[in-house]
Structure formats: structure tokens, C-alpha cells
């Protein structure tokens, strides 16, 4: 690799003029430059179909369930929407991280001693765009954080997992 620059320097430093080579052949130029004005790049415009020869494009209708504006506050967690109810929460998430999910509401009040284990509710979804569950039996007005777990999250081509958990901020049932 170190010889390449030396060879190029030697070739670039050599002159093919009749004086240096002893021959009467004229030098061949490497680059020919002519004066003139710049020409603007062509602009291609199509009328009718998007490109000649291709049929017009129409998009499939999407259901209103797919049109949910999912919060994108954290690129690591599955986005969830928590709607408080009377002693309950309705939890919604995009149904694209497998077909089996678990949800729980973890109380946020201080407890002395061992913390109680969260009670997980398993939810199996179908092919709809949105997964949902209702968590009931909660104390009205008390603070909770809702957690979502997707234990069967599919793997990407490189072997890494897609998103597999989500959580809410502190929410209180009515």
C-alpha cells in the first residue's frame, strides 16, 4: 500500500514532452476544460400517473383503530394510553409487539416492609391494530403506575428484540 503513492508521484512528475522523452509525439492531455456557462440540471415533471408506464397508486383504507395518536415520549418503551375509570383503568397500546401481553397497575403509596407482588393480567390479542385491557378493583384517587409487558416480542433480523415493555406516568382512578 505504501508503494502506490510513490508510483503515482513518479507517474505524475513525469513529463511526456518531446524535450524529456526524446520523441516527437505530442503530450496527451488528461483533462480538457472549455469556457462557457453552466447549464441548469433538467427538471422532470410527470402528468397523470406518478411515472409513465406505472398504474396510479391508491392506498387501502385504514380503520379508525389504527389512527390512534400514540405518544412518542420514549423510544424505548411501547406507548400506552391509560384512561381512568371508576376504580379502574382502560389501557390501550399498538398491537404490533406479539399477540400475548401482560398489564398491571402498581400502587405508588409507600409501604413499609416487603412490597406486594404486582398482579399481572394476561391479554391475548387478535389482528386488530390496538390491544386493550381493563384493570379493575383499584382504590379511587390513589396513585398507580400502569405497566405493560410483551413477553413474546418478535426478534428483528439481527436477533435483537423489538420493544417489550411500556409504562405510564402516575395515574389515579376516579
Pick the range with the lowest mean pLDDT from 42-46, 66-70, 74-78, 135-139: 42-46
Q: What's the whole-number mean pLDDT along residues 63-92? A: 79
pTM listed for this prediction: 0.57
The residue among 53 and 167 whose pLDDT is bigger is 167
In the block, residue with C-alpha cell 405493560: 148
- Is pLDDT of 91 > 90? yes
Q: What is the pLDDT of residue 128?
A: 87
Between 61 and 88, the higher pLDDT residue: 88
Consecutive H or E run containing 12: helix 3-13
Domain spans of the chain, in order of start? 71-171
CATH of domain 71-171: 2.60.40.10
The rounded distance, in Å, linking the Cα atoms of 174 and 148 is: 21
Residue 170: beta bridge partners? 145
Least confident of 8-12, 38-42, 130-134: 8-12
Residue 19 has pLDDT above 60, yes or no: no
pLDDT of residue 147: 95
Distance CA 162, CA 98 (A): 10
pLDDT, tens digit, 9 for 90 and up, residues 97-149: 888 999 999 999 988 998 889 999 999 998 888 999 999 999 999 999 999 99
| Phi, psi of 52, rounded to the nearest 5 degrees | -55, 135
CA gap 146, 155 in Å, rounded? 25
Amino acid at each position: 500500500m505504501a508503494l502506490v503513492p510513490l508510483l503515482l508521484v513518479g507517474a505524475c512528475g513525469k513529463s511526456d514532452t518531446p524535450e524529456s522523452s526524446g520523441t516527437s509525439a505530442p503530450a496527451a492531455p488528461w483533462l480538457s476544460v472549455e469556457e462557457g456557462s453552466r447549464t441548469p440540471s433538467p427538471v422532470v415533471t410527470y402528468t397523470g400517473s406518478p411515472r409513465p408506464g406505472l398504474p396510479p397508486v391508491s392506498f387501502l383504507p385504514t380503520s379508525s383503530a389504527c389512527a390512534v395518536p400514540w405518544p412518542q415520549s420514549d423510544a424505548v418503551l411501547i406507548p400506552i394510553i391509560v384512561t381512568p375509570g371508576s376504580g379502574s383503568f382502560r389501557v390501550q397500546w399498538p398491537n404490533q409487539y406479539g399477540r400475548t401481553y401482560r398489564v398491571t397497575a402498581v400502587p405508588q403509596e409507600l409501604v413499609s416492609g416487603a412490597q406486594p407482588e404486582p398482579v399481572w393480567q394476561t391479554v391475548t390479542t387478535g389482528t386488530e391494530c390496538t390491544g386493550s385491557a381493563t384493570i379493575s378493583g383499584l382504590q379511587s384517587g390513589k396513585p398507580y403506575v400502569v405497566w405493560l409487558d410483551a413477553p413474546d416480542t418478535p426478534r428483528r433480523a439481527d436477533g435483537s428484540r423489538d420493544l417489550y415493555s411500556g409504562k405510564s406516568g402516575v395515574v389515579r382512578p376516579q
